[in-house]
Amino acid sequence: MARIAGIDIPRNKKVPYSLSYIYGIGETTGYKICEAANVDPEARVDDLSEDQVTALRNAIADLGIVVEGESRTTVSMNIKRLKDIGSYKGLRHRRGMPVNGQRTKTNARTRKGRKRTVGLGKSTVGKKG
């Protein structure tokens, strides 16, 4: 089992896809890491030697890629900063609404949560006897 950046990456997948299980590394970055470490991107993690796994770890460090805890901290601090300065994006984060301009009349249920009916129904105010 290959352990990189404190994460056990899947053994039965190709290297760039397995690297994407690490927070802060996507597919494209996975290919760049493979290129920097001289590891075949088509190889499976099972087939890697210890030297190749070490080369992958060193490539992540050499490329200066921020991963896992440090990356999560950076993202959460950026969101906190937006909330503190009262920007529009910060307000959207605070309210739990979509941030990047998506429509909310329909859809957006993942961010907004379960549908709630708004209103009182028929009003009795102003009715004549």
User: Is residue 68 domain-resident?
Assistant: no
Look at residues 16, 39, 62 and tell me which one is the last residue of a structural domain.
62
Find all residues with CB under 8 Å of 11, minimum gap 6, and list them: 1, 2, 18, 44, 45, 46
Bridge partners (DSSP) of residue 44 are 14
Q: What is the pLDDT of residue 74?
A: 95
Write down the pTM of the prediction: 0.75
Whether residue 116 sits in one domain with residue 88: yes
Tens digits of per-residue pLDDT, 28-77? 999 999 999 999 999 999 999 999 999 999 999 999 999 988 999 999 99
**What's the structural domain count of the chain?**
2
Whether residue 20 sits in one domain with residue 52: yes
Pick the closest to residue 102 from 114, 89, 86 (CA basis).
Answer: 89
Whether residue 47 sits in one domain with residue 8: yes
Find all residues with CB under 8 Å of 124, minimum gap 6, and list them: none
Inform me whether the pLDDT recorded for 116 exceeds 90: no
Whether residue 84 sits in one domain with residue 55: no
Q: What is the pLDDT of residue 123?
A: 66
CA distances from 65 to 30, 33, 39 (A): 11, 10, 17
Average pLDDT over all residues of the chain: 90
Q: What is the 3-state secondary structure (H, E, C) of 26-38?
A: CHHHHHHHHHHHC
User: Is residue 67 domain-resident?
Assistant: no
User: Is residue 8 domain-resident?
Assistant: yes
The enclosing domain of 51 has a CATH number of 1.10.8.50
User: Is residue 105 domain-resident?
Assistant: yes
Range of the domain at 99: 74-129
The enclosing domain of 79 has a CATH number of 4.10.910.10
User: Is residue 121 domain-resident?
Assistant: yes
